[in-house]
Amino acid sequence: MGGWAIAVHGGAGVDPNLPAERQKQAKELLTRCLNIGISALRSSLPAIDVVELVVRELESDPLFNSGRGSALTANGTVEMEASIMDGDGRRCGAVSGLSTVKNPISLARLIMDKSPHSYLGFSGAEEFAKQQGVEMVDNEYFITEDNVGMLKLAKEANTILFDYRIPLTGLDSCASSVESPIRMNGLPISVYAPETVGCVVVDGQGRCAAATSTGGLMNKMTGRIGDSPLIGAGTYAGELCGVSCTGEGEAIIRGTLARDVAAVMEYKELGLQEAVDFVIKKRLDNGFAGLIAVSNKGEVAYGFNCNGMFRGCATEDGFMDVGIW
């Protein structure tokens, strides 16, 4: 075993004109979350506890699209989703359609640990949260001024917006009369810069874990479920690696992206970075996405085929890196 390793992400596909101040804020948040994870790993917390801890921190900050600050549905409400997976035994838990659970990733963990199921959604998930005494808040807690503005923009453009963090100025190209070259399930979209959060960890015992959380797409149809809560698509952990994905959910689902990293490591005997590169190149078809991964050997890797990915990683030997482009 090569020691512990951790990686975090705040979404793949970044507006090339993202203001410097917002880039700085993103890097500071990623660094803070990495340091939280590093401290936990140095205290010998297992990988599954560390990924939950880090994603809770990301959900509690409105900068990225998860928990507080989640994207809004076409009805102006929040429907959050998350999943978590422990490579030790391949245990998992997932949630969709949450509107009042403060930290979706912790409810996913409780489904894994305290229920006979792997996945609960909407009213059933909310009821289970109440039974478990999970902290609940009004839906308004998750809604920010930025979100409201971006939903208005999306409705005026009659489209889905992936990135509700793009500045509201300078978006004349988002007009509904402009045909976008980027498509989702064959339909044009005006802006591509999705944000989701995730964390992958291998601890000092070689145990891998992964967690992913999101608010989904701005102006999405009520009831839409993306890749983030789907084990094998947005999240996967097994004996060899842990993976968290971000980007165009429909493409990630079709490519079963997270599981495929583990599969090519197992069946093609590729190394971690080789596996990540192979999957990004061969499994996304015309989709855009990125992912972070760790191996049971203490390696860390990432890849993306779009314009940047908010990310950070660190290893036990002292390596640490935070980047966007």
- Which residues are documented as binding site for substrate? 224-227, 246-249
Half-sphere exposure for 19 (CA within 13 Å, toward CB): 9
DSSP codes joined into one string, 87-115: TTTTEEEEEEEESSBS-HHHHHHHHHHHS
| Phi, psi (rounded to 5 degrees) for 214 | -160, 160
Please indicate whether residue 196 is annotated as part of the active site.
yes
Binding positions are 224-227, 246-249
Tokens at residue 42, please? Answer: 């140095």
**In whole angstroms, what is the distance from residue 320 CA to residue 100 CA?**
35
N-terminal to C-terminal alpha carbon distance within the chain:
30
DSSP code of residue 116: S
> Alpha-carbon torsion 41, 45, 50, 53, what sign?
negative
- Options 159, 196, 256, 315, the catalytic residue: 196
Residues forming the active site = 196
